Amino acid sequence: MSKKIRVCRGRVCLSFGATRLMDALSKATELKPGESNKTYDLDYCGCLGYCGYAPSVEVDDTHIVCECTTDNVVYKVNNAEKEDCLGEGEHIDVKDEFLGDI
């Protein structure tokens, strides 16, 4: 199963360098946004809600790594369990359709 990587494309994350993070991840994985292989599934996602810790990246739908830079994003993604900004035991269920009940 490939590691699912989603770079937040919310307004704040974009202003704090989300596009540069995607460039670094694309270079490291040899994938463009929206592509996948046996090892990685790389794309953008909507706002993750961690604007105060921007830019953020979601890994495998269960971990969110925050305050990423082009120098540390690959490390944080590959070590998401240890680098998770939610902390141990504080995971939330992130769903893209959270406004669907309006």
Cα separation, 74 vs 76, whole angstroms: 6
Contact between 45 and 8 under an 8 Å Cβ cutoff? The reply is yes
**What's the whole-number mean pLDDT along residues 82-91?**
67
Predicted confidence band at 97 (pLDDT cuts at 50, 70, 90)? low
Which of 16, 19, 48 lies closest to 33, judged by CA? 19
**pLDDT (0 to 100) of residue 83:** 87
At residue 44, what is the residue type?
A: Y
Domain 3-83, CATH: 3.40.30.10
> Could you tell me the residue ranges of all domains in the chain?
3-83
Backbone angles phi, psi at 19, to 5 degrees: -65, -40
Q: DSSP code of 46?
A: S
Over the stretch 51-71, which tens digit does the pLDDT of each residue have? 999 999 999 999 999 999 999
